[in-house]
Structure 1
Amino acid sequence: MYLSASFLGCSKRTTAVLLEPALSTTSVSIICPQVENFGFPNNRAFVSVQDQTGTAITDFALGNFVASENGTPCVVLGYKKVNNIADPLSTAIVIDRSGSMGWSSAMSDAKTAAIAYVNAMAATDFAEIVLYDNEVEVPQTFTNDKALLIAAINSAYARGGTATFEGAVKGADDLSLRSGRKTILVMTDGDDASQLETEATAIIKINKAGIAAFCVGFGGSANMTNLDNLSRGTGGQSFTATTLNELIGRFTGIFYIMNNLVEVDFRSRIGDVLPLDNTRELTVYLNYTGLNKSCKKKYGY
């Protein structure tokens, strides 16, 4: 197969080496939950590719990926499976503690799921705990001390309203200067009632940090439209859960995604002219021998 030289940023026609998929792979999905621009114009895109069973695929050749930015082709410099030790994971675990969380076992279940996530973390991983009702509180800033994280989780009690977007933005703000893999995990059982952030402003601020929000709606009253928009608008995914086991599975499933990423290194070829929201939109195209998918991620500059 031949790929356009101009699309790859090369001066000559380039023969792409494409790996054959596993015989059992019938479909793939791809998301880009993070773009790191600390070395701009050379950047790192972290992508997650999964097969139809939800199993991560991390074995690719360079020709499997091409990319563009605001419609302009990028130079793809290389790819590799992310080294989870060299790029430790930082997670803002954002938990709803509004009054409705106390009407059933929701608060207890949320604590159990968050603790399962913390217990899955490697020794080099970090997390912070963000609790929100109508206000946002950070009882524990970023640490890899699991005992401190679990104590902060267990300090939550149900009260007040549901400022979901404000909690997510706080997580993005705190993650923005951290290096390595990073993500926001947002859990709620209700509808957003933020006073300071809207869905649109939350998406813009999270994208400026180059990260994604993974959202989990628990129970039948969670506003999945808001959560779907927040996650898809930032390059993440949203999930529902109705039981404790499902909730634990959603939390640990997000951990699985963030621990099986592929780094696609690319060079930006556009200047300093940016849209009004001061973000660039990266599109990563995957050709996994006849299985074609793409994903988009906005990031700040």
Structure 2
Amino acid sequence: MFFVFAGCSDEDNPVIQNGVTSINANGSLIQVDRTHMQGTMFVTDQNNSPVTDITSSNVTATLSWVSDGSVTGTVNVQPGSTSGKKIAAATTMDYSGSMQNDQIICMENGVKAYITSMQTGDITEIIKFDDNVIVAQTFTDDKTLLNIAVDSNYSLGGSTALYQSIYQGTNDAYLQNVNQYIRCVIAFTDGGENASSVTRDDMITNALTKGIPVYTIGLLDFYSGTIGSPGLDMKNIADTTGGFYFRIPPDTCSGLSQIYNTINNQLNGAYTIEITWPSANLPPSGTAVTALVTITYNNLTASFQKQYIIQ
């Protein structure tokens, strides 16, 4: 099964409303059946804060395929809070040998900040990894247990099984009830993958198939768009699966707490999205199609898309 996700924005004609001068969008979608898709949608402003007043009237969805065919779907968007959904986040923590002690402290403080900001009913899982992947605490809403897990000491310090940790988090998040939770993975690392037992393609396909967006945080001196660089890899993982990428330099790692709080705010400002395609005009089963979701907010436009094989 083939998937591609991409998110983008267009601010050629910005109009300021509630202080919003630009928007970005991304999200995860899964095919429920031939005529229905559902998932999670994130819309943020220039400060990475959630835009919280998006309605179905702001969102359009188009399905297209290579024979120049296309249809427009009916979209239903609801804030996750309105639908009663809580947050289920699998949080991965890097304890590979390249992580210095002060950086580990920053990472742990950042995750603790996320735990503190959890709302009633939210659940979190703690995953620690080097070349081994350890579930230090399964999903729970007990903040005491979560903080104990963050402080737990394992004999780690080897290589970096980043993909394996995301794969584990995706599988565990997927087991949480989709009708009760907005599910995601929050993945942290200070460097590149070099130890996983699953491939990058397998990790991404798993996230896309299960509809689990992956937020990524890179503790990196600079962002490089060079193919094979850790920064580009982390950004692509987030862009492709429906999350967002954050970078922070090691010498300012104390700012990680703010990044984790920002992610928490974005998750709490997420939307559930359902799309219905007109059955009479769809292409044959087995056709490669592209679903494009476009958000328009007072002359500001952002979009994301998913390519998949229609049932």
Fold in common (TM above 0.5): yes
Question: What does the per-residue CA deviation read over 1:115-171, in whole Å, with 9 as the maximum and x for residues that have no partner?
Answer: 111111112001111111111111211111111111111114441110001100111
Contact 2:218 2:234 in 1 (8 A): yes
Is the counterpart of residue 241 in structure 1 residue 248 in structure 2?
yes
Contact 1:161 1:193 in 2 (8 A): yes
Amino acid at match of 2:143: K
What SS does the corresponding residue of 2:303 show, helix, strand or coil? strand
Is the counterpart of residue 115 in structure 1 residue 115 in structure 2?
no
1:97-108 correspondence runs (5 A): 97-101=95-99, 103-108=100-105
Q: Identify which of 254, 264, 277 aligns with 1:255.
A: 264
Amino acid at match of 1:200: D
Contact 2:49 2:265 in 1 (8 A): no
Structure 2 distance, partners of 1:267, 1:85, is 18
Give the Å deviation of 1:172. Answer: 0.6
Give the Å deviation of 1:230. Answer: 1.1
Contact 1:88 1:124 in 2 (8 A): yes
Decide whether aligned partners of structure 1 residues 139 and 24 sit closer, same or farther in structure 2, where only a CA change above 3 A counts. Answer: closer
Contact 1:207 1:298 in 2 (8 A): no
Match of 2:48 in 1: 54
Match of 1:166 in 2: 164
Structure 1 distance, partners of 2:54, 2:83, is 20
Is the counterpart of residue 213 in structure 1 residue 204 in structure 2?
no
Contact 1:234 1:298 in 2 (8 A): no
Question: What does the per-residue CA deviation read over 1:7-27, in whole Å, with 9 as the maximum and x for residues that have no partner?
Answer: xxxxxxxxxxxxx97264332
Structure 2 distance, partners of 1:202, 1:37, is 19
Give the Å deviation of 1:272. Answer: 4.3
Match of 1:273 in 2: 286
Match of 1:147 in 2: 144
Structure 2 distance, partners of 1:210, 1:117, is 22
Match of 1:228 in 2: 235
| TM-score, normalised via structure 2 length | 0.79
Aligned residues: 276
| TM-score, normalised via structure 1 length | 0.82
What SS does the corresponding residue of 1:73 show, helix, strand or coil? strand
Q: 266-275 vs 92-101, which deviates more?
A: 266-275
For structure 1, the residue ranges without an aligned partner over 5 or more in a row are: 1-19
Q: Percent identity?
A: 23
Structure 1 distance, partners of 2:92, 2:270, is 22
1:6-45 correspondence runs (5 A): 22=17, 24-32=19-27, 34-35=28-29, 41-45=35-39
For structure 2, the residue ranges without an aligned partner over 5 or more in a row are: 1-14, 223-228
